[in-house]
Amino acid sequence: MLIARYLDSSEFGLFALVFTYLELFRTVADFGVEPVLIRRMVVDRSAWPGLLKSAIALKLCLATTASLLALALSGLFGYGDSFRSLLPLAIPSLFATSATNVLTVPYFAGLALHRISGIWVASGALYIAAILGGGIAGFGIHSFIILSVAYDCMNLIGVFLVSRRKGEIRSGACTRVLVDILWEAKAPALASFFVTSYVRVGILLVGVWGDMRTVGNFALATRLAEGFKLISGALATSTFPLFTRFAKSGSRKEINRFFYTLCGLLAGGMVIVALLVQYWLRSFLPIVFPRYGDLGSLLVPLTWAMVFVFVNMQASALFSGFGFFWLTTCAAAINFVISMVANTMLIPTYGGIGASWAYLLTEGVNSSFQLAAATALLVTRHGRLLQPKDIGAPE
């Protein structure tokens, strides 16, 4: 969002397209490995020693594959030479984020994020300072892409140093275990691809049917709304280990109460935020971002979509905690189809506003499916809900 203040809407549109395009290939670099590792670690802590080092090597191989695919398919959407020339500058972020994600697994599984939160705060502060300095110095789009990659690299270096000091990185994992993890990760990997695709298809298709100024306006509105999505994702990542523990030893009554109370509180809080955006905060957008168009009309539907996103994230964490990754995959596949149809129908006529309403529609349908599936899951599972044999761990 800070970068948007120093670039005009056309430049920011190109900046957003580069990183949005790479997000599709980040799903290849991650391949759903982290949820599987977290779940295995929560259920059977003794299986962890030696796994992390081999998992890092695996993720780097996946990131290399993703990078080559991204470069080879860079002409797929017809964004032009400027897009293809900027893409190699952003490619290193695939390696940095892929390695960082796997290094944070022990802290997510052990509910010990406080051990690395200082790294994110420090690197975030440096990143903001660099953007402000770059804005004053008149940096262009190339420099801001390099700064964004440097931020990802700072996170990687910081988490790596802490992990090595804590003794989390050890040798000894066998190839068979990694193959088992890849096999188990196929469902969350496919779900991740569908989720990323349906969330980002709006920006990508606006880039196909609109100009870069339209892309920039919609991308900025999306980034503003996604501030709430980041909070939702962090909460879901934190509750995922709790759902796994509930599934291992909790009762149906305890899980029901926790899940529905949490979803109600999160959705209710987000409704209040959406009302504030619709009737008050949107009036300040032209003051903060004077070089952009009517952001309010784009932001309001996106903010209301976040009400559903908060619920959907918790439902996905619940399914993953039970080991039912295929439910998340089914939901993501349905959302992908709905999003493609809605965006294809609305964007050519309504541009960015059509993409905003398509996203709201998709998340609303997503909530209906996931809540129905969660209710069915919680009603039919009893007593000791998850056994070690369910994930291949020793009994």
What does the pLDDT look like over 70-109, one tens digit per residue? Answer: 999 988 888 888 899 999 999 999 999 988 888 887 777 6
Residue 390: pLDDT above 60? no
Task: Return mean pLDDT, the chain.
Answer: 83
Lowest-confidence range among 92-96, 113-117, 351-355?
113-117
pTM of the predicted protein model:
0.78
Q: How far is Cα 344 from Cα 205, in angstroms, rounded to an integer?
A: 8
Residue 112: pLDDT above 80? no
8 A C-beta contact, residue 191 and residue 152? no
Closest residue by Cα to residue 320 from 200, 226, 233: 233
Res 284: pLDDT:
87
CA geometry: angle 246, 50, 326, nearest 5 deg = 40
Residue 312: pLDDT above 70? yes
| 319: confidence class by pLDDT, cuts 50, 70, 90 | confident
Res 356: pLDDT:
94
| 340: confidence class by pLDDT, cuts 50, 70, 90 | very high
Spell out the long-range contacts of 85-92 with Cβ–Cβ below 8 A and sequence spacing 24 or more. 86/14, 86/15, 86/18, 86/141, 86/142, 86/145, 87/18, 87/21, 87/22, 89/142, 89/145, 89/146, 89/149, 90/18, 90/19, 90/22, 90/145, 90/148, 90/149, 91/22, 91/67, 92/149, 92/152, 92/153
Question: Is 186 or 280 the better-scoring residue by pLDDT?
Answer: 280
**What does the chain come to in residues?**
395
Residue 386: pLDDT above 50? no
Q: Where are the alpha helices (DSSP H) in the chain?
A: 2-6, 9-30, 33-43, 51-72, 81-90, 92-103, 105-109, 114-137, 141-166, 175-184, 186-209, 212-249, 252-279, 285-288, 295-321, 325-350, 352-380
Q: In sequence order, what are the residues at sequence separation of 6 or more whose Cβ sits closer than 8 angstroms to the Cβ of residue 366?
A: 308, 312, 331, 334, 335
| Tokens found for residue 228 | 């709430």
Lowest-confidence range among 1-15, 35-49, 113-127, 375-389?
375-389
Q: How far is Cα 224 from Cα 232, in angstroms, rounded to an integer?
A: 14
